[in-house]
Amino acid sequence: GKTKSADSKICVLGNPGVGKSALVVRFLTNRFIWEYDPTLERVYRHQTLLDEEPTLMEILDTAGYDDSIHQEGNIRWAEGYILVYAINDRLSFEAVATLKQHLDQVKKTSVQCVLVGNKVDLLHERRVTTDEGELLAQEMACAFFETSASDGGEDIPELFYELHRDIKRRKMAE
Ligand code: GDP
Ligand code: MG
């Protein structure tokens, strides 16, 4: 039969190694996979009952090819973005602000996103404060989560669902 179209299309972006795949896999399976093929890029279809509604989310775990045409295709495809940095990687944090500007340019609108500071289990290596994360999220007008894909990550489903709800809200308003 005909495949149902997704209620939300979510793209996970961020520098290589920040834990994008680990977050996606944790969300989908509630497991932490220590080594995940860093070159693998794929779309996951996730079906669930959310807010009492059958919901189909599509999640694109990007692999950060240098090919900008390819990346632009990913950006155009998506309706919302999970922007990930690692709290022990200053460069990955700085990359997020640039990335958001790029997304807005490509989509010709202020895109919907959530900001995620991953690897909070590595507290002793912290290079980005919680305040800095919050401030950047304010500037981007989006929700902010600090989390760890390796340590429990109880709040990981919420960051995906929050973005899904935002996407739905904007679609309804259109
Ligand atoms: P990606 O390139 O952004 O997809 O990053 P991966 O998900 O492949 O993760 C890169 C590396 O960081 C792997 O060695 C993971 O085991 C590790 N990693 C991912 N998330 C966490 C986390 O929350 N805490 C710690 N300590 N390591 C993590
Ligand atoms: Mg990956």
Q: What are the DSSP calls for 55-122, one per residue?
A: EEEEEEE----S-HHHHHHHHHH-SEEEEEEETT-HHHHHHHHHHHHHHHHHHTS---EEEEEE-GGG
Is 80 exceeded by the pLDDT of residue 135? yes
Determine the distance separating the centroid of ligand 2 and the alpha carbon of 41, expressed in angstroms.
Answer: 7
162 contacts 112 by C-beta, under 8 angstroms: no
ipTM: 0.99
- Rounded to whole angstroms, the Cα distance separating 171 from 164 reads 11
Q: 28-75: per-residue pLDDT in tens?
A: 997 777 777 878 889 999 999 999 999 999 999 999 766 677 889 999
| pTM, rounded to two decimals | 0.95
The answer to whether 22 and 150 have CB atoms below 8 angstroms apart is: yes
Inter-axis angle of helices 130-139 and 90-107, nearest 10: 10
pLDDT for the residue 56: 96
Q: What is the pLDDT at residue 65?
A: 64
Distance from the alpha carbon of residue 22 to the mean position of ligand 1, in angstroms: 6
**Best probe residue, ligand 1, of 28, 36, 89, 154 (max atoms within 8 Å of C-beta):** 36
Task: Return the pLDDT at 2.
Answer: 62
List, as ranges, residues with CB under 5 A of the ion ligand 2: 20-21
Pocket test for ligand 1, best of 12, 13, 20, 127 (most atoms within 8 A of CB): 20
pLDDT in tens, 100-120: 999 999 999 999 999 999 999
